[in-house]
Amino acid sequence: MGVKLRAIIACVLWGSAFAGAKIGFQYVGPVFLSGLRFMLAGILLFPMIYIYKINIKSQLIHWRFMLLFAFLQTFLQYGLFFMGLDKVPGSTSAIIIGAGPLFVALMAHLTLRDDKLTFRKIIAILLGLSGVVFISLAKGGFSSDNPQFYIGIALLVLSNICGSYTNIMVVKKKSYNLSPVFLTSFANFTGGTLLLITSFFLETPEFKIYPPEFYGALLWLALIPAVSFSLWYTLLQRPEVKVSELNMWKFLIPVTGSILSWILLPGESPDIPSVVGIVIISIALLLLQFKPKTVNSKQ
């Protein structure tokens, strides 16, 4: 499976999480749901560790790094994300989360020697962001009527920063030869446990029998990080993959979210701004893939 196809699959899965989260929010708090989701995601990967015959002892040599990674990537990033998503309209949150590739590109430019911003990357990022804005405005635009609105904005921005930094962490620690499956399982289960514990201080979770709709959404929400992060970290460990260019594919997340909303949610249908946004994002991704060939001229 090629780099592009794996990246697309991961981003399509992430894009489907918005609908699942909204279903889950009807029954439990965001932090509690997030904790359940990631604990289950980590457990779902346990069999793969044995199927792939991963040497657990050799992986746990780097337990300090993995604990820090789990804290930042799962506990902080997704704890902040779910709390922010619960306070901000979906359209606004989509714009902020859609700016993720910009955060990654800037951080990579500042921290990695071989991943600098270029004119082509800047144009592609700006086009992608404008596409996200078109789609998001079509879904309702900005709204600041809720007094929690700006707190939600801050939480989502911090979530983006955490997510960008964890991508850089994986690239910088390629020499550790960590298994993407083991790292994903460890980070999801450990971070999910921390989120679940935290939910008892921030929310009032109840352990009871929920409707089948909730369990279906929870299982899907757990499968998303289990599969998508395993794919993503595999790509980040490849020497030819640049973290800034790989993260450009995340512009597909709001596209996927919009299309799935049209298909699955009543009252949702395509509109001109959304279609325009999708076209702009497609152009941005095509621009990123276009690399002019260098012609060697004879002296």
Q: What is the pTM of this model?
A: 0.85
Q: What gap in Å lies between CA 232 and CA 169, rounded to an integer?
A: 13
Count the neighbouring beta carbons within 10 Å of the beta carbon of residue 217: 24
Instruction: Report yes or no: 66 and 187 within 8 Å, Cβ to Cβ.
Output: yes
> Nearest CA to 156 among 96, 199, 101?
96
Per-residue model confidence as pLDDT tens for the chain (299 residues): 688 899 999 999 988 887 788 788 889 988 999 999 999 999 999 999 999 999 999 999 999 999 999 999 999 998 888 788 777 766 667 677 778 888 899 999 999 988 998 888 889 888 888 888 777 676 555 555 656 777 888 888 899 999 999 999 999 998 898 999 999 999 999 999 999 999 999 888 888 899 999 999 999 999 999 999 999 999 999 988 999 999 999 988 878 877 776 776 666 677 787 788 888 888 888 887 766 554 454 44
DSSP 297: -
Helices 17-25 and 212-236 pack at an angle, to 10 degrees, of 140
Task: Name the residue with tokens 């199927």.
Answer: 51
Please, is 25 exposed, middle or buried when counting C-beta atoms within 10 Å of its C-beta (0-12, 13-18, 19+)? middle
Q: What is d(CA 78, CA 195) in angstroms, rounded to the nearest whole number? A: 9
**Greatest alpha-carbon span in the chain:** 78
- 8 A C-beta contact, residue 162 and residue 104: no
